[in-house]
Amino acid sequence: MIKSTWRAALLLGAVFLGGVLAGSGGLVLAHRAGFVAAPGGRRSTEAYLHRLTGDLKLDARQQDSVRAILERYRPAMDSLRQDVDTKFTALRLSIRGEITGVLTPEQRQRYDQLTQRMDAERKRMGR
């Protein structure tokens, strides 16, 4: 009985480790392919450029030109992103206020905890 429990624990650990390695590897590949990039900043530009280079087979001159275009438009994109984020946050808070209005006190407390977790996750994801 102890042997089978030990084997089950080892198998569970191996499966967990395999999942961690597969997930980490997938995330690295997604970043390199430009599917997942850090919000804003140089890394997202480089990730997008890397994706275009791979998909379109850009040469070095084209890469430099595309990089310059992306850098030139970055301030406008950042400004627009900030404006949309501000409006989206205001809308989210309005919706939450209305939802809170139809909840019981116990439900409000649980809803507050839920929205705090959701906000923490959004912040962790960089959104």
**Consecutive sets of 10 residues in the chain, 127 residues long: mean pLDDT of each?**
73 75 66 50 80 95 96 93 92 95 95 94 82
* DSSP single-letter state for residue 40: S
Give pLDDT, residue 94.
96
Does some domain include residue 104? yes
The CA-based angle 54-58-60, given to 5 degrees, is 120
**Tokens 């040469």 -> residue:** 59
- Angstrom distance (rounded) from CA 75 to CA 98: 35
Query: What pLDDT sits at residue 18?
Result: 74
Q: Residues 74, 67: contact at Cβ < 8 Å?
A: no
Structural tokens at position 104 = 């019981």
| 56 found inside a domain | yes
The confidence score (pLDDT) of residue 90 equals 95
Residue 6 lies in a domain: no
Tokens 């980490």 sit at which residue? Answer: 24
Asked, for residue 105, whether it belongs to a domain, the answer is yes
**Domain count along the chain:** 1
Domain that holds residue 41: 34-124
Whether residue 17 lies inside any domain: the answer is no
Q: Is the pTM of this model over 0.85?
A: no
- Distance (Å, rounded) from C-alpha 5 to C-alpha 9? 6
* pLDDT computed for residue 32 by the predictor: 54
Q: Indicate whether 16 belongs to any domain.
A: no
